[in-house]
Amino acid sequence: MKAWSVMDYGAECGYIVFAETRGKARAAAMGCAGLDCSEWNDVEVRRIPKLDGKRNAPCVLDWEKDGRIYYEAGWYPIDGAPSCDCCGLFEYDEFPESRVTETDDGFMCAACIAHEAREAE
């Protein structure tokens, strides 16, 4: 699957979409709530070749679940948001599961803290 960046013209953020063609990527993203555009021509679609093959089926990536792929593309949340030193997940107020806590090993999200605890056993 080819990777595409889909956003409103002039916007700084949008979605990463995996689709076979530019038109299919645009159509998939236009169904998402994050885009403000209402016209087909108001959507900017660009290739992200370095992410090709990360998904085998068409999909629109979600920041909560697929944050690492957004980071690989060079997309980051608002400056100053704390992030996990292990996996790079940024903390979002809207998502309690993304809370980053300061530990003896640095800043870690809940998933990495649990993983470290399992490995210590």
Domain that holds residue 100: 80-121
Point out the domain boundary residue: 72, 89, 111: 72
pLDDT band at 43 (very low <50, low <70, confident <90, very high): confident
Chain-centroid distance of CA 58 in Å reads 15
Same domain, 21 and 40: yes
The answer on 61 and 86 residing in a single domain is no
Is there a single domain that holds both residue 20 and residue 61?
A: yes
Domains: count for the chain: 2
What is the pLDDT, as a whole number, of residue 49? 93
pLDDT at 109: 81
Same-domain status, 59 and 84:
no
Asked if 54 and 18 touch (Cβ cutoff 8 Å), the reply is: yes
pLDDT over 80 (residue 98) = no
Residue 102 has pLDDT above 80, yes or no: yes
> Do 44 and 86 belong together in one domain?
no
Are residues 65 and 20 both part of a single domain?
yes
Q: Please say if the pLDDT value at position 34 is more than 70.
A: no
Same-domain status, 68 and 84: no
* Mean pLDDT value across the chain: 80
Instruction: Find the mean pLDDT for residues 77-91.
Output: 74
- Regarding whether 87 and 65 lie in a shared domain, the answer is no
- 120 C-beta neighbours (distance < 10 Å), count: 6
Is the Cβ–Cβ distance between 111 and 119 less than 8 Å? Answer: no
> Quick one: 68 and 105 in the same domain?
no
Task: Using pLDDT thresholds of 50, 70 and 90, give the confidence band for residue 104.
Answer: confident
Q: What pLDDT was estimated at residue 35?
A: 66
> Are 67 and 84 within 8 A, CB to CB?
no
